[in-house]
Structure 1
Amino acid sequence: MDLRHEQVAQQENGRIEGRIPEEAAEVATLKETVLQLEEDNKTQRFELAVARNHLMQWENSYYALYNLLERTTQEAQQEVLNLERRLAEMYKLENARLHGIIVQQLFRINHLEELLEQARGGFIA
């Protein structure tokens, strides 16, 4: 029986020893796969860092443009208010000038009417 056990053990050892090169090759393949995955991970981390950097640059540009637009909008609104004030002032000045002209013309008309009355009175007398 010991001989039988020894033969079975030798067969088992032979089978195990036969599988060692296969398993060694599989381990080597797994090591290569792990190394490749680690390299891919490094590459992806680098690409992610680059993408994150680009995103931050885009975000900074966006906020800079937004602030510029906001400032430009406020400046434009202020310019509109200034123009409205100037226009109102010009309107007041022009209105006052026209009022002065109208008053002068009314005085002239009154004066001409008085002269006309005097002339009529002179012809009647």
Structure 2
Amino acid sequence: MKDSPLYQRPLLSGSSSESSIEIKSRRNLYRTKKYMRIIEQYDEEELREHFRMKRLTCDYIIDVIRNAKVLSDYKNPEEKKTSKKAVYMTIWYLANTETCRQIADQFDITKSSAHRVISKIVDYLPKK
């Protein structure tokens, strides 16, 4: 099992009372790559079918989120998401019946990041 390609990144496990530490590895997850490029290629009708709103409305929400710096408090620079990607993820979540796990796969980010980003934007929007 340790030779499996699904287990590649090491994780430490074990309790503090144990004298040895067992090293486990994380699974390599497969996700859709470059979905944002696909979204940019949608014509107005197709974008509206997927996101239930016009591109102009999406762009307005992106500007509001970007200007408000809703997503600016990440501790890890690698976790920073563009406002555009974050807003499209959130709109997709609100417009469809998919889970954060499915959205994370589609937008190529971790499940926890998808949940955090969507939650921040959903929490902010009623205030605006």
Q: Normalised by the size of structure 1, how large is the TM-score?
A: 0.21
Q: Normalised by the size of structure 2, how large is the TM-score?
A: 0.21
Higher relative contact order structure (alpha carbons within 8 Å, sequence separation ≥ 6): 2
Q: Which has the larger radius of gyration?
A: 1
Greater strand proportion: 2
Greater helix proportion: 1
